[in-house]
Structure 1
Amino acid sequence: MKYNLKKMMALDLYLTTLNQDNSDTIAGLVEGTTNFVMPLMSWDFHSKNFNRQLQVAQREQDILKVVHLGQKYNWKNDVQSIFKQNEFEALLLTDHEQRIVWVSDGFTAMTGYFKKEVLHKTPRILQGADTSVKSKKRIREKLSTDMSFSEIITNYKKDGSPYKCEVKIFPLKTDETTHYLALERQVV
């Protein structure tokens, strides 16, 4: 198959001028429709779309993992609705004593800590000098109410760099609270 280099370059230039909505629309039309060795689209455009699809797939896998754990532990919570109503970059699951039992790959991407490094530790591993004493106190008080809540806290990555994190914590219950699910995302 012969490619028209001028048309490919024009398409490449055109794709770089699109806003996100138009880019998403075009991606849906172009994605998977070519049988060429080299698709007729910008490699940047293709890479960005591929990475976005990868993130969506990873998010779905994380949700399925928590749903599976919910079935295993017989939680009465509607776990699916938690995810439908909240954004997150990272997930952290602790037991009732707040020891970490599972984290998502997004947690590793956000903090730099691998799963094996944080298992059986508490989320306090993420706190440091600039973590507000008031925030920590509010979190402890809210945990004791067994109600969902949100807090913004300064946490620290494995390399020691601080970041602001919005944490939404959901008690997961059978007849009583057995675990806590934290949905986390970095904020400015």
Structure 2
Amino acid sequence: MKSVNAEDVTWRNSVPIMAWDFHYEYVKELKALTVDLEKVNQISNRFTWDEKELNIKERIKNEVVVVTDLSLRIVFASSGIKKMTGYREEEILGKTPKMFQGPETSEKDLDEIREALKLRIPFEKTLDNYRKNGKTYKCKINAFPVYNQKGKISHFIAFEKQDLSA
């Protein structure tokens, strides 16, 4: 019979501490995603959105979701907003997306966005936005008006991500 020493047993039954760190981060992200989806669902249910084409459940996994009311006040931002901008959701609720703009943000692009919002049509733009620390980043925005099941517009929703190719 082969003898087993204590070091062998300890090594085989241990997990590197780094693995727990990765696991914790993964669980933390999953929890944040679940909370984000619950918040969006509450808004959606309250205003009876017609969600068929929005694909929120899939897009929220890889993009930041920002929902504004019709006066463009932010009513929801997914947890990814902190990583992209440095702001927590609580810091931006009630404000407009204008808070992310600055001197390097293209006025031409902003005019085109304002026109799309006025016409209540979808748009896609990449803007030079500003983080909380003042540094710029390229933000790819894909935005839509959101309609309720009666066909009346209730909000705007934007799917955003940092454009690393620019």
Choose the corresponding residue for 1:120, options 94, 109, 112: 94
Report Cα offsets for 1:59-100 as digits up to 9, x if no partner: 232122111210011112237723325653422211011111
Pick from 53, 58, 81 the counterpart of residue 84 of structure 1: 58
* Alignment partner, residue 8 of structure 2: 4
**1:169 is aligned with what amino acid?**
A
Q: Contact 1:88–1:184 at 8 Å: present in 2 too?
A: no
The whole-number CA distance in structure 2 between the counterparts of 1:179 and 1:158 is 25
**Greater fraction helix:** 1
1:45 and 2:22 equivalent?
Answer: no
Name the structure 2 match of 1:163.
Answer: 137
CA contact (8 A) 1:93 1:182 kept: yes
Report the equivalent of 2:156.
180
Pick one of 132, 151, 157 that aligns with 2:125: 151
Q: Give yes or no for contact 1:171–1:179 (8 Å, CA) kept in 2.
A: yes
Deviations 1:33-62, CA, capped at 9 Å, x for gaps? xxxxxx633222331233123213312321
Offset, 1:129: 1.1
Secondary structure in 2 matching 1:41 = coil
- Aligned with 2:159: secondary structure? strand
Q: Which runs of 5+ in 2 are unaligned?
A: 1-5
Matched, 1:141 2:145: no
Q: Aligned-pair distance for 1:168?
A: 1.8
Higher RCO, 1 or 2 (CA under 8 Å, sep at least 6)?
2
How many residues of Structure 1 are paired with residues of Structure 2 in the alignment? 158
Distance in 1 separating the partners of 2:9 and 2:23 = 22
Per the alignment, residue 70 of structure 2 pairs with 96
Gaps of 5+ in 1: 9-38
1:130 matched residue in structure 2: 104
Give TM-score, length-normalised by structure 1: 0.71
Counterpart Cα distance in 1 of 2:34 and 2:89: 19
Q: Is the CA contact 2:59–2:159 (under 8 Å) kept in the aligned structure 1?
A: no
